[in-house]
Amino acid sequence: MAATQEPASLLDHLARVLSGSQHAALRDSVIPALVDAIAGTSRALRDAQHVALAGTANTFGDDQLNVDVLAENLIRDALAACPSVSTASSEEDPIERPAQKQNTEHDSINTAAASSEIYTVAFDPLDGSSIIAPNWTVGTIIGIWQGTTAIRQSPAQRQIASILGIYGPRTTAVIALRIPGQVEATCFEVGISDDSGFNDAEIVRAEVKLSLPPFKTRYFAPANLRAAADDERYMKLVAHYIQNKYTLRYSGGLVPDVVHALVKGHGIYVSPVTSTSKAKLRRLYELCPLALIVECAGGKAVDPASGQNILDKPLEDIDERGGLICGTAEEVDFVVQNLVG
């Protein structure tokens, strides 16, 4: 009987994917620190027996929960220990501030500039606040960009890595890397120990890849379903999924609903925008990181208003918002044809 093969460690996997010294800081410092922050956030969530309003609001006016603040602080502290991270911004604090707390803004950028690797990190520390209280799966969304800013940059060229932390019965992460001209697109899943974080993180799947049809079961996640009352096209699209016996897989959490498709190998997530159901997803903190994950897994992520790929449009403002259609390419094309026209 053959011996059971030990799962590969995240350390070893990153050494293969990001070999050499060109991306040493990304491999040895930035990704490990963020994985540790995800482990810390998972511990904080499990210890937070009472989820309540923190009594504060972020810059966008959204009320903050105590766990939002905990996750924000853990990720900020992790990035402060990464010299190659020049600036960072989050949905809770949407200003690209120096990542190293001990430095002035000028010194922080100069410290990073002394290295051949300079990054800015944009993150949503805890996505899914509305479903934390019923103890549903929620997540962290992180995008890593080359340079000191993500504003007026091409997401397709400058956003080189994304991480989705998933907090459920297990703590896992989906990581995507794509560095144009240097590192080919790759997407993989990691299992994370709440106690030891990066040091004991194991590769669950070395390749996360959306499959090609035919599928025995088809999945759909219709977000912003109230928009169907205003948009006959969306109503017809939802009716199409029901009539064709698609399986509903929608929790109300952006991260778990998209990750479900990645785990199953297929599926479609639709979050349209109408005149009465405004866009809520922020491009920098949610749409761009998710789009990179989906594209690296072989799928598509497009804007439901235009049908344009999410990553094709440069960011002009931190508060840019939009809807989302993502999943297997065939399903996305069908939605665009019927919803966008």
Q: Which tokens go with 278?
A: 């405004």
Provide the pLDDT for residue 112.
Answer: 47
Radius of gyration of the chain (CA): 19
Half-sphere exposure of 89 toward its Cβ, with a 13 Å CA cutoff? 20
Cβ–Cβ under 8 Å, residues 162 and 290: yes
Provide the pLDDT for residue 261.
Answer: 97
* pLDDT tens readout for residues 184-222: 999 999 999 999 999 999 999 999 999 988 888 999 999
Instruction: Let me know how many helices (H) and strands (E) the chain has, helices first.
Output: 10, 17
The percent of residues in the chain predicted with pLDDT above 90, rounded, is 77
Residue 279 — pLDDT band, cuts 50, 70, 90?
Answer: confident
Provide the pLDDT for residue 280.
Answer: 87
Helix (H) / strand (E) element for 66: namely helix 66-80
Q: What is the mean pLDDT of the chain?
A: 90
For each of the domains in the chain, give its residue range(s) and CATH number, in order of start: 10-205 (3.30.540.10), 219-340 (3.40.190.80)
Residue 4 — pLDDT band, cuts 50, 70, 90?
Answer: low
Give the phi and the psi of residue 279 in degrees, each rounded to 5.
-65, 135
* pLDDT tens readout for residues 135-188: 899 999 999 999 999 999 999 999 999 999 999 999 999 999 999 999 999 999
Question: Torsion-angle region of residue 40: left (phi > 0), alpha (psi -120 to 50) or beta?
Answer: alpha
Looking at per-residue pLDDT, the higher value among 310 and 20 belongs to 310
